[in-house]
Structure 1
Amino acid sequence: MTALEMEKIIERSGDVERCHQLLAETKEIIAQEGVSMNETQWLSLASHLSAMLYRSIHNEPIQPLDSAMFSEVSPQSIELAATVCKLLPNLHADEKYLLSIHFEAAKLNN
């Protein structure tokens, strides 16, 4: 991942400064939980966080999800995602399920 690729992802958020802050806060939160991500996983997470920030700014909800689809995702990953989601206002409650997939995948690295 190049710095240019990351900046393009961040620009799509609609608020470059806030997106940088969100990425830094998320990196700190996951580090505290002992979750490590490879470069590809971090790029995917950054893209999702940028999109979440865009949805938060523009008050655009995601489509409701069936939480049963995420029954194999660990409670730790869902709670971690919920913690990150709380950093932004105006997000649909189901956003945590989509975000949790990134953390669950990263746990496979360990």
Structure 2
Amino acid sequence: MELRTQELYEKSEEPKLCKEVMQFTEQLMLQKNIKMTESQLLSLLSHISGMVYRSKHRESIEQVDPLLFKDVSDDSIDLAKQVCEIFSDLDENEKYLLSIHFEAAKMNN
């Protein structure tokens, strides 16, 4: 897992920032008592790495219909929003996709 983690940090093209965002996200999850499996953490890191990359290159994701996320808790969407707010230039839809990671992890408990 260590090698895969480092690869994901590097893939973001901003490994220091990517690591900081991941640590911030893990702190938020700790505060909310959200625990992820190793594979969920890797998936989350992959998403965060992509967010850092998209921010650096000013790329946006495809538009998503917020109604598709109506069953995702407000808490998970709020957590995702807090992470996304680190960046000034991410697409608004990013929070919806990121929120799925938190919602899935809540089912572990």
Q: Percent same amino acid among aligned pairs?
A: 44
Aligned to 1:81: 80
Amino acid corresponding to residue 48 of structure 2 in structure 1:
L
1:16 paired to 2:15: yes
Deviation at 1:86, TM superposition (A): 0.7
Distance 2:46 2:6 in 1: 10
* Runs of 4+ residues over 6 Å off in structure 1: none
Distance 1:71 1:26 in 2: 22
Distance 2:76 2:94 in 1: 13
Aligned to 1:43: 42
Aligned to 2:51: 52
Deviation at 1:95, TM superposition (A): 0.4
Contiguous gaps of at least 5 residues in structure 2: none
Matched residue pairs, number? 109
Amino acid corresponding to residue 77 of structure 1 in structure 2:
S
When normalised by structure 1's length, the TM-score is: 0.96
When normalised by structure 2's length, the TM-score is: 0.97
Deviation at 1:72, TM superposition (A): 0.9
Deviations 1:77-109 (A, max 9, x none): 111110111112210001000000000000001
Contiguous gaps of at least 5 residues in structure 1: none
Deviation at 1:42, TM superposition (A): 0.3
Deviations 1:4-60 (A, max 9, x none): 111111111011111111111111111111111110100000000000000011110
Distance 2:32 2:69 in 1: 20
Distance 1:88 1:26 in 2: 13
